[in-house]
Amino acid sequence: MARNYFGTDGIRGLTNAGVMTAEVAMKVGQAAGIRFLRGKHRHRVVIGKDTRLSGYMLENALVAGFTSVGMDVVLLGPMPTPAVALLTRELRADVGVMISASHNPYEDNGIKLFGPDGFKLSDEDELAIEAMLGTPQPLAPAAEIGRARRIDDARGRYIHAVKSSLGDDVRLDGLKIVVDCANGAAYQVAPSAMWELGAEVLTIGVSPDGKNINERCGSTHTDLVRETVVASGADIGIALDGDADRLIVIDEKGRVVDGDQIMALIGSQWAKSGQLRGGGVVATVMSNLGLERFLTSEGLRLERSKVGDRYVLELMKAKGCNVGGEQSGHMILLDHGTTGDGTVAALQVLAALVKGGKRASETLHLFDPVPQLLKNVRFAGGKPLEDARVQTVIAEAEAQLAGRGRLVIRPSGTEPVIRVMAEGDDEAEVKSVVEAICSAVAEAAG
């Protein structure tokens, strides 16, 4: 079945257009509600959101949808995506919903769904819900319509869980930390958790106005946090995205540390302490070859999944691993949560600084990334990757890089774009290979 609503991470799009309207949100609430009406207990859904202006509209539409099919709703207000996953389990809810478009600008929004176990929905559940969106769903009798209520202690519950991911003996006293919350969902909880652990916290991106989420701040726009770290003499910078499920770190010199380096640190640290399971780390096909070589030198494996944190998680489960993530900063630590959690991952990094007694620049750069280049080719229609000329150029590139690098070519899951990535020890060769493939794809795409 073709997907018209769900992409690689829920439903996402421009607000008040296409799939991201109040009407669609209400239908999603009804369909997801019906899908998870299992058993004879009183059914419950947990709904959180980030700080986008459109969150109010979508929240109300989802409440209408869920209550109309007989589900009670618990509203969390602005909270990180991992908090929704956590509270879905803690409150014994049947389904959880996060209203967010992650690192996208405020004009976009999205709907992410979690099952009662706190994990994102399977392909089977998403396809079933998608199939239901085109038909009216049975509404509850008047006496069985659901109720909605807000809970006041969601923030405290999540902060407690985040802090509990560290041992009781770990404190952050003496660390000066810049925390950039992207004017998003973690603007209250992330700085509070680090302050409660003893750190001196300097905050930026903590004044959301509905329209400034991810605007020149956060994990995808690191200039501000880098400048602040250097200017303030901070030990480290922590940059989260709009829904706080991804993390980028800045060392004391203002250098960016991406998800690959963070996985290298956590994976190797956990291996030494006996905490690592599965004999390695799970990342996507986009993670740098340097990470793979580093893990191999440590006696660990790198398992690669398709792009998307849900596919990382699936492979983690299959391989029995408890550390996984993406170069972009999604960090999944299954000992402490069921989905990516930028704040929990940040605390693992900060704990490594405290325990090691070294500067961030010495702790966080565990390998030298090999030259890597990613380019996107937009196309209007058709299947350019099936063109014979494109396939020939790709085969030639693979032969050229054999033993010295990698080639990853994939269509985007959210837009009409072909992503072409190559990496290898020879930067000029990598550039040449990418340019040749992009030219062939562009020609085939017209």
Residues annotated catalytic, as ranges: 102
Strand partners, 256: 250
Which distant-in-sequence residues (6+ apart) come within 8 Å of 37 by Cβ? 43, 69, 70, 71, 94
Which distant-in-sequence residues (6+ apart) come within 8 Å of 142 by Cβ? none
Q: Taking Cα atoms as reference points, which of 282, 173, 286, 185 lies closest to residue 235?
A: 173
Contact in structure between 234 and 178 (CB atoms under 8 Å): yes
- Residues 123 and 195: their CA atoms lie apart, in Å, by 39
What is the bridge-based pairing of β-strands 95-99 and 44-49?
Answer: parallel
Cα atoms in the 13 Å half-sphere on the side-chain side of 103: 18
Q: Taking Cα atoms as reference points, which of 139, 132, 185, 104 lies closest to residue 6?
A: 132
Which sign does the torsion angle of CA 207, 174, 79, 147 carry?
negative
Contact in structure between 290 and 367 (CB atoms under 8 Å): yes
Strand partners, 436: none
Contact in structure between 341 and 245 (CB atoms under 8 Å): yes
- Residues 176 and 235: their CA atoms lie apart, in Å, by 5
